[in-house]
């Protein structure tokens, strides 16, 4: 650890072209008027910050469910997982983590296991903090099968500003807990559906750190 690494985080490759675009616009703004150029500098720094990809230290104890995203727990309620995942239509406990435009948007696997299914569904771009965003908004869903055969679903949901969901993994891939699996650009939300009988260990309003904060214990 050093002072530089505390403030300067590595950037995810997904952000390179956006930073390049912001930089080019900033050069043009400086040619037009210096104050506009400095505004462009601030926006370019924000863009770099948005796509930051810091290292995280994931708890090593087996059977823990870890937050897939940075942000705030916005909802905890029973809900049926997305139908396109092919899971039972029994309501499960859903923990929603809302990310604003200042949160790190790299998403991490909540549990280790095999990706049993991936399903993308187009939709609306409502405010991701709203309950109905889970049903109406564009989303990408993963069903991860853990070692004991149970499934944990994690759903990337586009928001009011977010217009691009990125998923890095394919069906049948093996994920480790806390491993990067996707990214959503510019404000969004992730839902985690816990297996039947598993209770969350977090509360609404709690701040979450992707890859580090414990959401639940599968054997708790």
Nearest C-alpha neighbor of 44 from the set 60, 30, 68, 24: 24
Q: What is the DSSP-derived secondary structure letter of residue 11?
A: B
| Angle separating helix axes 16-32 and 34-50, nearest 10 degrees | 170
DSSP string, 129-183: TSTTHHHHB-EEEEEEE-TTS-EEEEEEEE-SS---EEE---TT-EE-TT-EEEE
Nearest-angstrom CA–CA distance, 171 and 87: 15
State phi, psi for 107 to the nearest 5 degrees.
Answer: -100, 145
* Tokens matching residue 206: 């709690």
* Tokens matching residue 134: 């889970």
Of 5, 134, 188, 199, which one is the catalytic site residue?
A: 188
- State yes or no: is 188 an active-site residue: yes
Residue 145 contacts residue 116 (beta carbons within 8 Å): yes
* CB-CB neighbours of 101 under 10 Å: 15
Catalytic residues: 188
């Amino acid at each position: 650890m050093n002072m530089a690494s505390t403030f300067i985080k590595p950037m995810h490759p997904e952000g390179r072209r956006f930073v390049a675009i912001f930089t080019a616009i900033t050069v043009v703004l400086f040619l037009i008027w210096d104050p506009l150029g400095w505004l462009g500098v601030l926006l370019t720094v924000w863009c770099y910050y948005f796509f930051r990809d810091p290292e995280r230290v994931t708890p090593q104890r087996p059977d823990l469910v870890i937050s897939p995203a940075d942000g705030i727990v916005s909802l905890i309620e029973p809900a049926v997982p997305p139908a396109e995942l092919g899971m039972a239509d029994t309501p499960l406990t859903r923990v929603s983590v809302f990310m604003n435009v200042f949160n790190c948007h790299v998403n991490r696997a909540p549990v280790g296991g095999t990706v049993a299914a991936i399903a993308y569904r187009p939709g609306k771009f409502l405010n991701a903090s709203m309950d109905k965003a889970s049903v109406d908004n564009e989303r990408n869903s993963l069903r991860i099968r853990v070692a004991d055969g149970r499934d944990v679903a994690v759903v990337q949901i586009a928001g009011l500003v977010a217009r691009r969901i990125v998923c890095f993994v394919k069906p049948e891939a093996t994920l480790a807990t806390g491993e990067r699996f996707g990214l959503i650009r510019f404000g969004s939300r992730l839902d985690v559906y816990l297996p039947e009988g598993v209770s969350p260990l977090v509360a609404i309003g709690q701040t979450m750190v992707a890859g580090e904060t414990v959401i639940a214990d599968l054997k708790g």
